[in-house]
Amino acid sequence: MTKIAVITGANRGLGFAAAHRLGHAGVKVLVGARNGSKGEDAAERLRSKGVDAESLNIDVNSVVSVQEAAMRVDRNYGHVDILINNAGILPEATASNIDRPLDLRMFRETFETNVFGAISVTKEFLPLLHKSASGRIVNVSTTVGSLADQVDPESPYYGLICPAYQMSKAALNGLTIALSKALKGTSIKVNSVCLVYLSHA
């Protein structure tokens, strides 16, 4: 049976690259996008590269959107094999935010997408993952969220200060650990990953 993958924030960036890779491994990819036309466009680009792809409207900050996406996947496929919680934001990357290290609104905004979004998506898709013979949840984290790296002067990330993003990814890693324990004994495995762009040069 064809494996089904749902990837949030897959209309561009690393999510799109993951969709491309999984598609070429024979997985049917549901391209999560909060903007319907961007999702359609990304799915079309993937199909033109030989990937079995379909767009899936999903804004991880909207519970209604997440629930509707899960219902649609349930109706059309009845199960999910791979869920990649990839959608993420880094508001501290913009120059105007660099001087606001303790801006509460920015912390809330970052956590809303990077942490609560992943929790919401996982909650709604978990019943569908249970219907897979070997469900996989992949939380897209980052090494810069590693507490060990942040306090290791030898780490290349030691000098990096973007606390909202770093804390959100550390929290996401906490979710991974808790879920992997809670789902022990089921066929579902949960992991955090740090995705990187690979040059083919």
Residues with a catalytic annotation lie at 165, 169
Least gap, CB of 169 to ligand NAP (angstroms): 7
Give whichever of 38 and 130 is closer to ligand NAP, judged by the CB atom. Answer: 38
| Backbone φ and ψ of 73, nearest 5° | -65, -40
Least gap, CB of 139 to ligand NAP (angstroms): 9
Least gap, CB of 171 to ligand NAP (angstroms): 12
Give whichever of 105 and 184 is closer to ligand NAP, judged by the CB atom. Answer: 105
Q: Name the site residues for ligand NAP (rule: CB under 6 A).
A: 8-9, 11-15, 34-35, 38, 59-61, 86-89, 113, 117, 140, 142, 194-195
Token duo for residue 66:
């997440």
Give whichever of 131 and 163 is closer to ligand NAP, judged by the CB atom. Answer: 163
| Backbone φ and ψ of 146, nearest 5° | -70, 125
**Counting Cβ atoms within 10 Å, is residue 73 exposed (0-12), middle (13-18) or buried (19+)?**
buried
Q: How far is residue 171's CA from residue 167's CA, in Å, rounded to a whole number?
A: 6
Q: Which residues pair with 7 in a beta bridge?
A: 31, 84
